[in-house]
Structure 1
Amino acid sequence: MTRILLLGAGRSASSLIQYLLRYAPVENWQVSIADVNPAHLDPVLAAHSAYAQAISFDVAEVEQLDVLVPTADIVISMLPALFHPLVAQACVRYHRHLVTASYVSPEIRMMAEDAQAAGVALVMECGLDPGLDHMSAMRALTEIREQGGELTSFKSYCGGLMAPDSEGANPWKYKFTWNPRNVVLAGQSTAKYLENGHPRFIPYQQLFARTEVLSVPGFGEFEGYANRDSLSYRQPYGLDNIPTILRGTLRRPGYCSAWNALVRLGLTDDAVHLGNAAAMTWQELIEAYLPAATAGSLPERVAAYLNLAPQGQEMTLLTWLGLFTNRPLDLPDATPAQLLERLLTEKWQLAPGDHDMIVMQHLFDFTLQGRRHRRTSSLVVLGDDATHTAMAKTVGLPLGMVVRRLAKGLLPQRGIVIPTLPDIYEPVLDELAADYGIRFEEHEFALS
């Protein structure tokens, strides 16, 4: 019997839990799901009590890890990323494997030798992004190399968006399908990438003003903006000498320019507490960010301050959020980012009938037999409802599949492992396509 412990059963865990419950009786697993509110799992686990249980777990009480981790053979962490080092330390201490969807942080990277010595696999970056991006890119890169192609450019974009049938009257064409705070604070470090052999840096203040338009077959156009440090992907992908490499985030056209307006107004700042009263209104807050009042309405003065067309798309999106109304902020002494997150959590909340959408696209440029070629690899996944979202599928299913392989003894690697290895990505991508219809659409054509 293999004992599996899942820490965290929030929004992105629904598909992972279904996968674990599907295979628990087949693979002889005993599954324990630890969550701060385990009661919400009762209906899910009611028919699976012989091999699954819910446990109360408060991540703030980290000493509980010393109780729970030793009871498992494999630990899956769906906790916020800042808690993963604590979980990883416990896993190394008790010689237990760990699987997560989050990035390898500097703190976890420092555990590599200890994990190796303990015979423990810390399998990271096995969700969507990071995760499926690694797997699909490595499969395509390997195929191009096996043809004799020489890579000259690699660009990769991913976005969690709304399905076309759920965009509705929301002019942003966006709602929250994952942590709202992460969305509000996205991009606040300088983006770094390579373009034609030259380093490129985009500071946060310019990030959403410098976008690239992409087209995904059957789903129209998207805008991509650069994401974090693209240069760190050269080594794990074997692209140390590639002239162009960029990773980015996708949004529907119009989103980035309107978000840039929020940045320029100062509403994404999370460094300063304003000392505001909860009864202060959004209109008063926006007024406080403008120079001394001149003639014109508040929206007109905001448009002039940001050099935007008063009736343009950006102002339409800002007005839709309610920034120019007498609505109370309802949160005292907050940062601007906290206030914006509170507002957007209501405005961008998934309705029961909504369907989200994951879009990922890789663009590979390479030379083959003296000719320039481009290969695009595109993935679109639609959610079933507000619980079984596309985000939950694409984060949770790859995680579950990696756990299954680890439990079967098919992943012999120890230390820190990410899914750039063919014995991880090949079976996971095959299972996603065969059992869940999650597959990448490939197109290749000559450029010259």
Structure 2
Amino acid sequence: MSRRILVIGAGKSTAYLMQYLLDKSEEQDLLICIADKQPETLSESIQNHQRTEVIALDISRGTERRKAIQEAAIVISMLPARLHIEVAKDCLEFGKNLVTASYVSKEMREMDEQVRSKKLIFMNEIGLDPGIDHMSAMEVIDRIKKKGGKMLLFESFTGGLVAPESDTNLWNYKFTWNPRNVVVAGQGGAAKFIQEGTYKYIPYHKLFRRTEFLEIEGYGTFEAYANRDSLSYREAYGLGKALTLYRGTMRRVGFSRAWNIFVQLGMTDDDYHIENSKGMSFREFTNLFLPYSPTDSVELKLRHYLKIDQDDVIWGKLVEINLFDADKTITTANGTPAQILQEILEQSWTLGPEDRDMIVMYHKFGYELNGKKYQLDSNTVVLGENPKLTAMAKTVGLPVAMACLLILNGEITRPGVQIPIHKEVYDPILRELKTYGVAFNEFEVPYLGYNPDSVAS
């Protein structure tokens, strides 16, 4: 009987994942069972493949979910992060290994002891970011430590953007993954990190005005803003004594300053609902966040309120997304500001039929060896093929699929709830990713850490 891999959830990030498994299915004797709430959205080539079984599955239906999991040799959950825990509980009960691309939740982490006791592997954070960022970072960190180096600095940045030829709007941005995650990015607490031994905090309302610049040869300049908690991986990465630890998100230069307009207005707020939102015009929505004036237009009020000059490049960006359009109307009923902003942006930032996306990742490693300080930088750029076969789907899906087979074939053996920071995981996956065009370029640069002759940090 073929070995049955259950893939729960068949969204945008699964195209490469499923194709990879199907390409290996004959040789590895696999049956790929794809369970989704709307299986009819799958391509005919997937649905009709002799090595696939497609089932309709509502994850909330416990009996059906448990039956599908019980019949599997291993489970891949590509559901929204909040839904993994029910799948994980079933996997624990039936003794099934589990793979997800999502961050380890508190509930998942609390299962670690039980997972270990059953000698199961619950591999999480094995997509792009988190995922490839962990693996590519640990490969270099372990290499530096092996030759006796002492880690001083680690910075890591990732961005899901558009390929240069598809970069056709003033924001230099289009949605290449879950739009909601973009709209609410950075919320839920201050960004925290450490620079040259000094703890730094950036509250949400200041987050998009504190950026740093990065250069990637052939692709120009990017900016990066801080992720919410850079310190959460300090212990996992073995960087307890590092002076600098900073993780961030990459965008094209100018994006963050413009996005900050939404933050200052309150349009990214997801904590309350606008009861009469359905049918409201984009212009009326914008006016909700501005002072009343019997004479001034919405445009004039916004410029005065946020001190934006009419010839500021930001103004063109706001006009481009139809923020002041009186004819375009909102379809979201009782939406939060964030939900409504998402709807507005999706009309302008959805990938077109000929568009390609782009993934960029950039790491900085500072270390001391034999009394001297060195810095090694590495980066990768991955381009998508089209709006369905995206670079995002490739870099999220391939590591998930590769980890699944390595676990299934007994090549990854360390039990427990974990992330891909160990050599037995990152070594084979990074090696195979190179054959799919996901490879890092490394270059030595002058160490950019603390200079005793500079001003205090």
Same fold (TM over 0.5): yes
Aligned amino acid, residue 181 of structure 1:
R
Structure-2 change in CA distance of 1:239 and 1:414 (3 Å) = same
Map 1:303-322 → 2, pairs under 5 A = 303-322=303-322
Structure-2 change in CA distance of 1:405 and 1:258 (3 Å) = same
8 Å Cα contact 2:47/2:53 also seen in 1: no
- Separation (CA, whole Å) in 1 of partners of 2:208 and 2:62: 38
8 Å Cα contact 1:42/1:54 also seen in 2: no
Deviates more, 1:4-13 or 1:329-338: 329-338
Question: How far is 1:295 from its partner?
Answer: 5.7
Whether 1:437 aligns to 2:428 is: no
Whether 1:147 aligns to 2:156 is: no
Residue in structure 1 matched with residue 232 of structure 2 by the alignment: 232
Map 1:43-442 → 2, pairs under 5 A = 43-45=44-46, 48-49=49-50, 51-168=51-168, 170-189=169-188, 190-293=190-293, 296-326=296-326, 327-433=328-434, 435-442=435-442
Q: Secondary structure at the match of 1:323?
A: coil
Question: How far is 1:277 from its partner?
Answer: 4.3
Q: For residues 333-392 of structure 1, give each alpha carbon's deviation from its aligned partner in whole angstroms, at most 9, with x where no partner exists.
A: 221111111111221111111000000000111222333221111010000001110000
8 Å Cα contact 1:227/1:248 also seen in 2: yes
- Separation (CA, whole Å) in 2 of partners of 1:97 and 1:175: 36
Structure-2 change in CA distance of 1:160 and 1:146 (3 Å) = same
- Separation (CA, whole Å) in 2 of partners of 1:35 and 1:316: 41
8 Å Cα contact 2:287/2:298 also seen in 1: yes
Q: For residues 198-257 of structure 1, give each alpha carbon's deviation from its aligned partner in whole angstroms, at most 9, with x where no partner exists.
A: 111111111111111111121111110000111111101000111110111011111101
- Separation (CA, whole Å) in 1 of partners of 2:150 and 2:295: 60
Q: Secondary structure at the match of 1:208?
A: helix
Question: How far is 1:42 from its partner?
Answer: 5.1
Question: How far is 1:149 from its partner?
Answer: 2.1
- Separation (CA, whole Å) in 2 of partners of 1:446 and 1:368: 14
8 Å Cα contact 1:45/1:53 also seen in 2: no
- Separation (CA, whole Å) in 1 of partners of 2:47 and 2:338: 40
Structure-2 change in CA distance of 1:75 and 1:262 (3 Å) = same
Q: For residues 250-309 of structure 1, give each alpha carbon's deviation from its aligned partner in whole angstroms, at most 9, with x where no partner exists.
A: 111111011100010110011111222422222122222112227654223212211222
Structure-2 change in CA distance of 1:276 and 1:361 (3 Å) = same
Identical-pair percentage: 43
8 Å Cα contact 1:355/1:384 also seen in 2: yes
Q: For residues 20-73 of structure 1, give each alpha carbon's deviation from its aligned partner in whole angstroms, at most 9, with x where no partner exists.
A: 100111111111001112123351225521x21111112233442211100101
- Separation (CA, whole Å) in 1 of partners of 2:301 and 2:374: 49
Q: Secondary structure at the match of 1:310?
A: coil
Aligned amino acid, residue 115 of structure 1:
V
Q: Which runs of 5+ in 1 are unaligned?
A: none
- Separation (CA, whole Å) in 2 of partners of 1:280 and 1:345: 17
Q: Secondary structure at the match of 1:273?
A: coil
Question: How far is 1:11 from its partner?
Answer: 0.4
Question: How far is 1:332 from its partner?
Answer: 2.9
Aligned amino acid, residue 171 of structure 1:
L
Q: Which runs of 5+ in 2 are unaligned?
A: 449-457
Q: For residues 385-424 of structure 1, give each alpha carbon's deviation from its aligned partner in whole angstroms, at most 9, with x where no partner exists.
A: 0111000000000111111111111111111121101011
- Separation (CA, whole Å) in 1 of partners of 2:315 and 2:281: 19
Structure-2 change in CA distance of 1:199 and 1:447 (3 Å) = closer
- Separation (CA, whole Å) in 1 of partners of 2:220 and 2:235: 33
- Separation (CA, whole Å) in 1 of partners of 2:438 and 2:267: 37
- Separation (CA, whole Å) in 2 of partners of 1:163 and 1:96: 39
Deviates more, 1:270-279 or 1:75-84: 270-279
Equivalenced residue count is 445
- Separation (CA, whole Å) in 2 of partners of 1:46 and 1:282: 40
Deviates more, 1:139-148 or 1:336-345: 139-148
